[in-house]
């Protein structure tokens, strides 16, 4: 182990010299399609060539060949929570109520590393779930090189309407810490600004929550409140992502101008059409739904699909038929960090073409999150590049066989060493 680390360190410092490296594999997914006989050349943290190998006229210092492999842009996780871990290990309530912020931050930093090693060089982390701005701290620790991790877009505390969010079920006189920050009426403006000031790259709002009389998902914020949040965030160059499962909450969030809807379980065809018309992304978090059902005892392939999965499959198929922009994001944290590919496998299982899934987790996510130099293997783009064994366009699970991870021109994983 020690020797292995020494070689990696040596390799990394070699890279800091800014030499050129040529990457060659059987095939390359460049963010749009699968290509053969393509070479990539990286210098420093940039891709300086991506094109036919036989037309390359650049002298390189090193050539790295991957056998039976595919090169791809670093994957982009659309919906993560590094400050959460699977609820079958510790319930969400107990994570929020019983674990100190320092413990959560230290665990979260390890979880961030797992995302990177699984080939996800960027993650959009949608809320610290009661851990304040620990996500901002983790992001900065990565940027400063204190820990290894992906690029992070963070939401900070996230925003909920008073009375809607958990943890719940306590004596009414007992104030418990919540999983997000409350705001109502015009106060949503100051809370949005405060979250931005404290490091939020995205504003995450809960446009509905399970606070109906029978625990059903029903809208929380009014259309006017959502509009104020979006206008305030947009003014600072930031976008808003909305948690929404019920059609009315989705409609309000779409009309207010959010960039993505998270979950979307009960979306009607009319709502999906509205998303298509307004170019709003759907992040379906299929893996979270399946994982929660498994924690409740559902045995996939043995038991019948529970209602929430039947609903999700139908909604997802409708979204594909209508042509809604699909964001790849599993709500990882609800299930194991590092197992992010589970969402991509379920997208294929629920009817999406593997090549479209590859686009979703690279170029579509990049464009939607305004990451203009990521998500594609293209001259001038940042050198976030991974290699996996096999061809993920024929079997998406090959994305689990990560053999190489480069972020910003630095190699973090290379199983050949
Ligand atoms: Zn989430």
Query: Taking a C-beta distance cutoff of 8 angstroms, is the pair 157, 180 a contact?
Result: yes
Q: Give the distance (Å) from ligand 1 centre to CA of residue 308.
A: 17
* Per-residue pLDDT band at 13 (split at 50, 70, 90): very low
Query: Taking a C-beta distance cutoff of 8 angstroms, is the pair 51, 39 a contact?
Result: yes
Tell me the CA end-to-end span of the chain in Å, nearest whole number: 11
**What's the longest Cα–Cα distance across the chain?**
73
Same domain, 296 and 212: yes
Q: What is the pLDDT of residue 1?
A: 38
How many CB atoms sit inside 10 A of residue 380's CB? 9
Q: Give the distance (Å) from ligand 1 centre to CA of residue 131.
A: 14
> What residues have their beta carbon closer than 5 A to ion ligand 1?
331
Same domain, 215 and 80: yes
If you write DSSP's letter for every residue of 318-372 in order, what string do you get?
A: HHHHHTPPBP----BTSS-TT-THHHHHHHHHTT--HHHHHHIIIIIHHHHTT-T
Q: What is the pLDDT of residue 62?
A: 94
Same domain, 28 and 139: no
Non-local (6+) Cβ contacts of 254 within 8 A are: 261, 271, 274, 275, 278, 280
DSSP assignment letter at 246: S
* Per-residue pLDDT band at 417 (split at 50, 70, 90): confident
Q: Give the distance (Å) from ligand 1 centre to CA of residue 15.
A: 36
Rounded Cα gap, residues 124 and 201, in angstroms = 9
Same domain, 8 and 124: no
Q: Give the distance (Å) from ligand 1 centre to CA of residue 374.
A: 23
Q: Please list the helix, strand and coil fractions of the chain in percent, rounded to the nearest 5, in that order.
A: 35, 25, 40
From residue 201, alpha-carbon distances to 42, 159, 194 in Å are 28, 14, 12
Q: Give the distance (Å) from ligand 1 centre to CA of residue 126.
A: 6
Q: Give the distance (Å) from ligand 1 centre to CA of residue 243.
A: 8
Same domain, 341 and 392: no
Query: Taking a C-beta distance cutoff of 8 angstroms, is the pair 321, 264 a contact?
Result: no
Q: Give the distance (Å) from ligand 1 centre to CA of residue 80.
A: 6
Q: Give the distance (Å) from ligand 1 centre to CA of residue 322.
A: 25
Q: Give the distance (Å) from ligand 1 centre to CA of residue 321.
A: 25
Q: Give the distance (Å) from ligand 1 centre to CA of residue 41.
A: 36
Same domain, 277 and 196: yes
* E strand or H helix at 117: helix 101-117
Supply the CATH number for residue 10's domain.
2.30.40.10
Q: Give the distance (Å) from ligand 1 centre to CA of residue 331.
A: 5
Q: Give the distance (Å) from ligand 1 centre to CA of residue 174.
A: 26
Same domain, 232 and 141: yes
pLDDT at residue 216 above 80? yes
pTM to 2 decimals? Answer: 0.95
Q: Give the distance (Å) from ligand 1 centre to CA of residue 329.
A: 9
Q: What is the pLDDT of residue 9?
A: 39
Rounded Cα gap, residues 304 and 99, in angstroms = 36
Show the domain range for 296.
75-368
Q: Give 329-339 pLDDT, tens digit per residue.
A: 999 999 999 99
Same domain, 19 and 91: no
- Rounded mean pLDDT, 352-364: 98
Same domain, 113 and 190: yes
Supply the CATH number for residue 235's domain.
3.20.20.140
Average pLDDT for the chain: 95
How many CB atoms sit inside 10 A of residue 265's CB? 19
| Proportion of the chain above pLDDT 90, given as a percent | 95
- Rounded mean pLDDT, 180-189: 98
- Residue for token digits 């959009």? 124
Q: Give the distance (Å) from ligand 1 centre to CA of residue 288.
A: 8
Q: What is the pLDDT of residue 5?
A: 37
Same domain, 395 and 299: no
- Rounded mean pLDDT, 27-36: 98
Q: Give the distance (Å) from ligand 1 centre to CA of residue 159.
A: 12
Non-local (6+) Cβ contacts of 396 within 8 A are: 341, 344, 345, 347, 348, 354, 357, 358
Q: What is the pLDDT of residue 4?
A: 39
Q: Give the distance (Å) from ligand 1 centre to CA of residue 332.
A: 8
* Per-residue pLDDT band at 6 (split at 50, 70, 90): very low
Q: What is the pLDDT of residue 17?
A: 52
Q: Give the distance (Å) from ligand 1 centre to CA of residue 79.
A: 6
Q: What is the pLDDT of residue 8?
A: 41
pLDDT at residue 2 above 70? no
Rounded Cα gap, residues 102 and 360, in angstroms = 34
Q: Give 44-73 pLDDT, tens digit per residue.
A: 999 999 999 999 999 999 999 999 999 999
* Per-residue pLDDT band at 10 (split at 50, 70, 90): very low
Q: Give 128-172 pLDDT, tens digit per residue.
A: 999 999 999 999 999 999 999 999 999 999 999 999 999 999 999
Same domain, 57 and 111: no
Question: Into how many domains does the chain fold?
Answer: 2
Q: Give the distance (Å) from ligand 1 centre to CA of residue 71.
A: 29
pLDDT at residue 220 above 80? yes
Same domain, 8 and 69: yes
Q: Give 89-139 pLDDT, tens digit per residue.
A: 999 999 999 999 999 999 999 999 999 999 999 999 999 999 999 999 999
Q: Give the distance (Å) from ligand 1 centre to CA of residue 78.
A: 10
Q: Give the distance (Å) from ligand 1 centre to CA of residue 286.
A: 11
Strands 202-206 and 239-244: parallel
- Residue for token digits 């509905």? 208
């Amino acid at each position: 182990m020690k020797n292995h680390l020494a070689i990696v360190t040596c390799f990394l410092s070699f890279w800091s010299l800014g030499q050129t490296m040529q990457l060659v594999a059987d095939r390359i997914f460049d963010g749009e399609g699968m290509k053969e006989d393509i070479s990539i050349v990286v210098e420093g943290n940039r891709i300086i060539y991506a094109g036919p190998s036989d037309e390359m006229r650049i002298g390189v210092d090193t050539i790295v060949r991957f056998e039976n492999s595919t090169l791809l842009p670093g994957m982009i996780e659309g919906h993560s929570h590094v400050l959460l871990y699977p609820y079958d290990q510790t319930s969400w309530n107990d994570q929020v109520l019983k674990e100190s912020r320092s413990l959560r931050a230290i665990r979260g930093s390890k979880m961030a590393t797992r995302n990177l090693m699984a080939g996800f060089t960027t993650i959009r982390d949608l809320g610290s779930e009661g851990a304040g701005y620990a996500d901002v701290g983790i992001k900065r620790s990565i940027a400063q090189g204190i820990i290894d991790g992906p690029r992070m877009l963070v939401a900070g505390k996230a925003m909920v309407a008073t009375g809607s969010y958990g943890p719940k079920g306590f004596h009414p006189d007992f104030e418990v810490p919540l999983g997000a920050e409350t705001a109502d009426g015009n106060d949503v403006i100051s809370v949005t600004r405060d979250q931005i000031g404290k490091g939020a790259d995205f504003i995450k709002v809960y446009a509905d929550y399970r606070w109906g009389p029978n625990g059903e998902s029903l809208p929380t914020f009014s259309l006017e409140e959502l509009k104020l949040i979006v206008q305030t965030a947009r003014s600072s160059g930031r976008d808003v992502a909305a948690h929404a499962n019920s059609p009315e909450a989705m409609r309000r969030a779409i009309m207010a101008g959010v960039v993505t809807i998270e979950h979307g379980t009960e979306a009607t065809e009319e709502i999906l059409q509205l998303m298509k018309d307004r170019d709003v992304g759907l992040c379906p978090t299929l893996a979270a739904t399946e994982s929660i059902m498994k924690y409740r005892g559902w045995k996939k392939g043995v038991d019948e699909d529970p209602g929430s999965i039947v609903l999700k499959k139908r909604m997802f198929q409708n979204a594909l038929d209508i042509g809604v922009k699909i964001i790849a994001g599993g709500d990882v944290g609800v299930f194991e960090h590092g197992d992010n590919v589970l969402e991509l496998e379920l997208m294929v299982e629920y009817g999406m073409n593997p090549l479209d899934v590859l686009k979703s987790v690279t170029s579509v996510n990049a464009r939607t999150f305004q990451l203009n130099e990521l998500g594609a293997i293209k001259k001038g783009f940042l050198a976030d590049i991974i290699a996996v064994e096999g061809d993920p366009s024929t079997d998406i699970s090959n994305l689990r066989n990560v053999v190489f991870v480069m972020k910003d021109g630095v190699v973090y994983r290379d199983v050949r060493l």
